[in-house]
Amino acid sequence: MPKMKTHSGAKKRFRLTGTGKVMREQAGGRHLLEHKSSKKMRSIANDVELAKPDAKKVKKLLGK
């Protein structure tokens, strides 16, 4: 059986923590920034954990 290749799109969008959680970036931090508050932008800047059902699929794409 050949090795599973890592999905190139998934490796750019997600990262795994040391404890195995799948982290993703939040939407809304790329454009139309003038009207967004500093508080909003600080919260958007942080990564968040992916939902458990989705994380299982993403781990498969990442080859973990």
Encoding tokens for residue 31? 């454009």
Condensed to tens digits (0 to 9), the pLDDT of residues 18-64 reads: 999 999 999 999 999 999 999 999 999 999 999 999 999 999 999 98
The CA-based angle 12-16-18, given to 5 degrees, is 150
Residue 64: the pLDDT is 85
**2 within domain boundaries:** no
Q: What backbone torsions phi and psi does residue 20 show, to the nearest 5 degrees?
A: 95, 5
Residue 18: the pLDDT is 95
Distances (CA, A) of 43 to 26, 40, 49, 61: 9, 5, 13, 27
- Counting the structural domains of the chain, the total is 1
Give me the domain span that covers residue 57: 8-62
Condensed to tens digits (0 to 9), the pLDDT of residues 4-23 reads: 899 999 999 999 999 999 99
**26 within domain boundaries:** yes
In the sheet with 48-49, reading across from the earlier edge strand, the strands are: 14-16, 22-24, 48-49
CATH number at residue 22: 4.10.410.60
**3 within domain boundaries:** no
Residue 44: the pLDDT is 95
Q: Is the pLDDT of residue 1 over 90?
A: no
